[in-house]
Chains A and B, each alone.
Chain A
Amino acid sequence: MSRVLTLWGSSVGKKIMMAVTGVILIGFIVAHMVGNLKVFMGADAFNHYAEGLRSFGAPFLAHGQALWIARIVLLVAVVIHIAAATVLTLQSKRARPVAYKKYAGDMVFSYASRTMVWGGIIILLFVIYHLLHFTTGDVHPDFIPGNAYHNFVSGFQSVPAALVYILAMIPLGLHLYHGFWSMLQTLGANNDKYNHLRRPIAAGLALLVTLGNLSFPIAVLSGVLKL
Chain B
Amino acid sequence: MNLTLHVWRQAGSADAGRFETYKADGVDEHMSFLEMLDMVNEGLIKDGRMPIAFDHDCREGICGMCGFMINGEPHGPLPSTTVCQLHMRNYKDGDELWIEPWRARAFPVIQDLVVNRGAFDRIVASGGYITARTGSAPDAHAVLVPKAAADLAMDAAECIACGACVAACPNASAMLFTSAKVMHLGALPQGQPERYTRVVEMVATHDTELFGHCTNHGACQTACPKDITVD
Contact = CB atoms under 8 A, between A and B. Distances in A.
A and B touch in the complex (CB under 8 A): yes
Interface stretch (B25-33, B97-105, B129-137): B97-105
Interface size on B, as a range, is 35 or more
Query: Which of A94, A95, A192 has the most CB atoms of chain B within a 10 A radius of its CB?
Result: A95
Interface residues of A, number: 36
Given A6-B200, A95-B210, A96-B212, A108 B219 contact: yes
A100 B172 contact: no
A102 B170 contact: no
Interface string B167-199: 011111101000000000000000000000001
Interface string A83-123: 00000100110111111111111101100011010000000
Interface in B59-75: 69, 71-73
A102 B173 CA distance: 19
Nearest to A11: B213
Tell me which of B8, B72, B223 has the highest count of chain A C-beta atoms within 10 A of its own C-beta.
Answer: B72
A181 B212 contact: no
B212 A102 contact: no
A97 B170 contact: no
Given A88-B215, A186-B216, A114 B103 contact: no
A190 B172 CA distance: 24
Contacts of A185: 216, 230
A108 B219 CA distance: 6
B86 interface: no
Given A11-B207, A182-B215, A103 B72 contact: yes
Nearest to B214: A15
A195 B100 CA distance: 34
B204 interface: yes
Contact of A102 (B72, B105, B203): B72
B207 to A, nearest CB: 5
Given A92-B172, A109-B170, A97 B214 contact: no
A105 B219 CA distance: 6
Interface in A161-214: 178, 181-182, 185-186, 190, 192, 195
B217 A113 contact: yes
B19 interface: yes
B217 A109 contact: yes
B207 A95 contact: no
A94 B210 CA distance: 8
B168 A11 contact: no
Nearest to A188: B231
Given A95-B104, A101-B19, A108 B207 contact: no
Interface of A: 6, 9-12, 14-15, 88, 91-92, 94-106, 108-109, 113-114, 116, 178, 181-182, 185-186, 190, 192, 195
Pairs of residues from A and B, 9 with the lowest C-beta to C-beta distance, nearest first? A95-B212, A104-B72, A102-B72, A11-B213, A92-B171, A95-B172, A92-B212, A182-B216, A96-B172
10 contacts: A11-B212, A12-B214, A15-B213, A96-B103, A96-B105, A100-B100, A101-B8, A102-B71, A116-B215, A181-B216
